[in-house]
Amino acid sequence: MHRLLYVMLSFQLQILVQKWYFHFVLIGVLFSIPQIVFIGVLAFSLSVIFQMLTLPVEFDASNRALAILGNGTYMTEEEVAGSKKVLNAAAMTYVAALFVAVMQLIRLVLISRGSRRD
């Protein structure tokens, strides 16, 4: 139950943050208000932190699914090997998304530093 609540809350917060952080950065840069840019960067940083926290949960879920599939009579050995490839690929999409988010965060930090120059 705790895990479900965690996933639901983190997903909703990510959607909220990803939807609004860019508006803060854009408005702050356009009107040269570094405090507003900082709020946008901070909001996106929260999204990156949530992605970092969810990464081990996703890998654990893949490992647990493989253990269940491998120990039961659900699949043949060939099917388990194929499932392992698919679940590993699915987990790696979270790694790729985290990498993109970190690069975006670096970009936002550089933009915010540029908006403070006068």
**How does pLDDT run across 97-117, given as a tens digit for each residue?**
999 999 999 988 888 887 555
What is the pLDDT confidence band of residue 43, given thresholds at 50, 70 and 90? confident
Q: What is the pTM of this model?
A: 0.70
Annotated domain spans of the chain: 2-115
Q: Is the pLDDT of residue 95 over 90?
A: yes
- Tell me, what's the pLDDT at 116? 55
**CA–CA dist 19, 46 (Å, integer):** 13
